[in-house]
Copies of this chain bind each other. A is one copy, B any other.
Amino acid sequence: MTRDVPLLFIPGPTEVRPEILRVLSEPVISHRGPRIEAITRRIFEDLGALYRTRQECFVACSSATGLMEAAVRNLSRKKVLSTVCGAFSERQYQTALKCGRPATRLGVPAGQPIDLAEVERELATGAYDLVTAVHSETSTGVLNPIAELGELVRRHDDVLLAVDCVSSLAGAPFETDLWGVDLAFAGTQKCLALPPGLTVFTVSARAMERSAAIEGRGHYFDFQLYRKMAAKGQCPATTNISLLRALGVQLDHILRKEGLEERWNRHAALAERVRGHLSERFSLFPDAGFMTPSESVFRTDGRISPTALVDELLKRGKRIGAGYGELKETTFRIGHLGDLTMRDIDGLLTDLDATLAEMGIS
């Protein structure tokens, strides 16, 4: 196979299978009418299986960041409690402020999971109507305990829980109904292994009810509009038809060819391989017991420059990630998510070994 672009081992966008790329190159079809409606209805149904929920599921033509705004505008009129453990949960907090909502930032040092005791204390004040969290925090590699968070939030009748599962959905167990998640959303370019451009999300009945009562929530991310269009087997506005069709094909692959739990297991196995292979040379960044299976974040401890490592490995046609944001110069990130196989990962590790040896680390 000849290709002039590197293989992606960043924590998203990830490699896309040729079968999916072929769907994207098919002629465009009308965004209304029975053909696309049948595809869309099947997608909504499959998303229910993916999200492990009986609640309504939808597709938005936006980056997942758009749903951070949707969370705030549809679900809060009192005050937002934002759990922050890295750049993406920070973005959710900043989005609340930029939407003009009062919000509290409940932060922990990078690499740690959210502090459940702190959440409990804050909720006891009765000041909040929405808690936000990121399941898999892509900037630090932390996987947060959403089951336990959901259990805390459910003790308060009027508080909703919105969870960013961008880099965990389809790559790690995510149990919308069991955990009591009112809104969950994920872009298509992480564990779903599609190009970016759409966001899939699910809304609980009580979140839908809250949304209906909030004035000024806008149009583009209005959950009521999504519900109204979904009843007709449609998405609002003119959505990305090509990517929507690819999503349909990929959901079928995930649920009926690979199997969802097998997909979770594969991500866990890839993570184990990468971590085992590098453990003598680098320590992992996140707290033990709270690591996402979709990527591994390693400390460099000042021995190499992460960006130099990325650049050197690129010469072998493979792209990993430097650290994100504040961690840019002190960590590097290997994405092992989506449709990547053990063979892909072994190939990466071979090239990584050679590159690290050249850089004096063996």
Interface positions of A (Cβ within 8 A of B): 3, 5-6, 8, 10, 12-16, 21-22, 24-31, 35, 61-66, 68-69, 73, 91, 94-95, 98-100, 187, 189, 195-197, 215-222, 236-243, 319
CB-contact partner of A61 in B197, B216, B219, B222, under 8 A: B197
Min CB distance, A284 to chain B, in Å?
23
A21 touches B25 (CB 8 A): yes
CB-contact partner of A196 in B16, B95, B215, B241, under 8 A: B241
A238 touches B95 (CB 8 A): no
B62 touches A195 (CB 8 A): no
Main secondary structure of the interface of A (DSSP, over half): loop
B30 touches A15 (CB 8 A): no
B216 touches A30 (CB 8 A): no
A28 touches B13 (CB 8 A): yes
Q: In the bound complex, what is the Cα–Cα distance between A69 and B187 (angstroms)?
A: 21
B25 touches A239 (CB 8 A): no
A196 touches B68 (CB 8 A): no
Min CB distance, A234 to chain B, in Å?
13
A219 touches B29 (CB 8 A): no
Q: In the bound complex, what is the Cα–Cα distance between A332 and B296 (angstroms)?
A: 56
18 new A-B contacts, CB < 8 A, other than A13-B28, A189-B238, A197-B197, are: A3-B27, A5-B35, A8-B30, A10-B30, A13-B238, A16-B27, A21-B24, A21-B25, A28-B195, A31-B196, A62-B62, A63-B220, A64-B238, A65-B236, A65-B238, A69-B218, A195-B243, A197-B243
CB-contact partner of A218 in B31, B99, B196, under 8 A: B99
Q: In the bound complex, what is the Cα–Cα distance between A196 and B198 (angstroms)?
A: 11
Residues on the B chain within 8 Å of A61, using CB = 61-63, 66, 196-197
* Given A69-B218, A98-B219, A219-B68, A63 and B5 contact (CB-CB distance below 8 Å): no
Residues on the B chain within 8 Å of A21, using CB = 24-27
Residues on the B chain within 8 Å of A218, using CB = 69, 73, 95, 98-99
B63 touches A238 (CB 8 A): yes
Chain B, residue nearest A321 (CB): B30
Q: In the bound complex, what is the Cα–Cα distance between A15 and B8 (angstroms)?
A: 31
Chain B, residue nearest A94 (CB): B219
Q: In the bound complex, what is the Cα–Cα distance between A8 and B26 (angstroms)?
A: 13
